[in-house]
Amino acid sequence: MNELHNKYRPAYFDEVVGHKSIIRSIRMVLKEGSCRSFLLTGPSGIGKTTIARIIAHEVKASSRNIKEIDAATNTGIDAMRAQTASLQYTAFGKTPSRVIILDEAHALSKAAWQSSLKAIEEPPPNVYWVLCSTEPEKIPATIRTRCA
- The number of CA neighbours under 13 Å toward the Cβ of 83 is 31
Each residue's pLDDT tens digit, 56-72: 999 999 988 999 988 87
Task: Tell me the domains of the chain and their CATH numbers.
Answer: 4-144 (3.40.50.300)
Q: Are 120 and 37 in contact (CB under 8 A)?
A: yes
- DSSP letter at 2 equals T
Mean pLDDT computed over every residue of the chain: 88
Rounded to 5°, angle at Cα 61 from 10 and 30 = 75
Q: Which of 74-78, 86-90, 128-132 holds the top average pLDDT? A: 128-132
Question: Please, which pLDDT band fits residue 137 given cuts at 50, 70 and 90?
Answer: very high
In order, the DSSP letters of 20-33 are HHHHHHHHHHHHHT
Bridge partners of 37? 129
Quote the pTM value: 0.89
Mean pLDDT of 12-19: 90
pLDDT digits (tens, 9 = 90+) for 85-104: 777 666 666 778 999 999 99
Q: How far apart are CA 11 and CA 27, in angstroms?
A: 15
Greater model confidence, 6 or 135? 135
104: burial class by Cβ within 10 Å (0-12, 13-18, 19+)?
A: buried
Query: 3-class SS at 11?
Result: coil
Predicted confidence band of residue 78 (pLDDT cuts 50, 70, 90): confident
Of the pLDDT bands very low, low, confident and very high (cuts 50, 70, 90), residue 5 is low
* pLDDT for the residue 51: 96
pLDDT tens sequence across 29-49: 999 999 999 999 999 989 999
Q: What is the mean pLDDT of residues 12-24?
A: 92
What average pLDDT does this structure show over 103-115?
89
136 vs 138: CA distance, rounded Å: 5
